[in-house]
Amino acid sequence: MMRRVGVLSVSASLLVTGSVMVSGPASAVIGGSKSTYGPWAVRMLVDGKPVCTGAAVTKQWVISASHCFFEQGRAVADRRISFRVGNLDMRKGATVRPVGRRAGNARADMMLIKVSPMKIRPVRLAKVHVRPGQLVRQYGWGATCTKDENTCQSPVLKQSTLRVVRSNARRCEGFAEPGGTDFCMEKVTGIPAGGDSGAPVMSIGAHGKETLLGVFYGSDREKIAGAGEIVQQLAWIHKVTKR
């Protein structure tokens, strides 16, 4: 899993440096496009600086990547975390904060964290597996450049279109394994990067009908990306959010 580990270390470096540049290009994920929809999308900040993306699964629970909540191997304290919600431009969104409850997933790079009530539409959760060849869409506020990702974090929501690839494909090594809980995707238009960790990977459909298929955790910044599959974690999500 060398490739996956390398990707996570780059994403984690955003937390270490505490970087944020909301004046970066807004055209989108590397090679992607600007989003016009995404009421469930959530921007995660640490010490007031954007680091990751997430999605509201209920009006009080956000899902993102587990590695976003750790800094140099130690958990980031709730008091340092905030989320911007309710607007495609994170600078105009409302701020909500954790309320002392979070749950990590032992089988996937996913974290659920409870926040103060959000006035947004939660995401619909997928009930079927992704399939090879399926087109999906990833949303996030991450990097728009291939150099210093800290200097080009987007202030507006952006998106990329990806195609699901068979987990046993050679190019998916390090991003997914046959029979595992992750799935592999290849670039169609755009590729997610640093700052997109935890981003929702959605089915493509009419606004309000899309479903959350996965939680993005990393990419090679060129052609391949990986995500944890939501349908395999439905029982965990429901158990945590109903507490």
Which pLDDT tens digit goes with each residue over 66-111? 999 999 999 999 999 999 999 999 999 999 999 999 999 999 999 9
Which CATH code, of 3.90.1150.10, 2.40.50.140, 2.40.10.10, 3.40.1360.10, is assigned to 1-243? 2.40.10.10
Beta-bridge mates of residue 98: 115
State the pTM of this model.
Answer: 0.88
In angstroms, what CA-CA distances link 20 with 67, 74, 92?
Answer: 18, 21, 16
Q: Is the pLDDT of residue 10 over 70?
A: no
198 near 216, Cβ under 8 Å?
yes
Q: Is the pLDDT of residue 6 over 80?
A: no
Output phi, psi for 151, to 5 deg.
Answer: -95, 0
pLDDT at residue 55, rounded to an integer? 98
When pLDDT is averaged across residues 36-47 and rounded to a whole number, the result is 97
Picking from 131, 17, 113, 135, the residue whose alpha carbon sits closest to that of residue 65 is 113
pLDDT tens by residue, 149-163 = 988 999 999 999 999
pLDDT at residue 31, rounded to an integer? 81
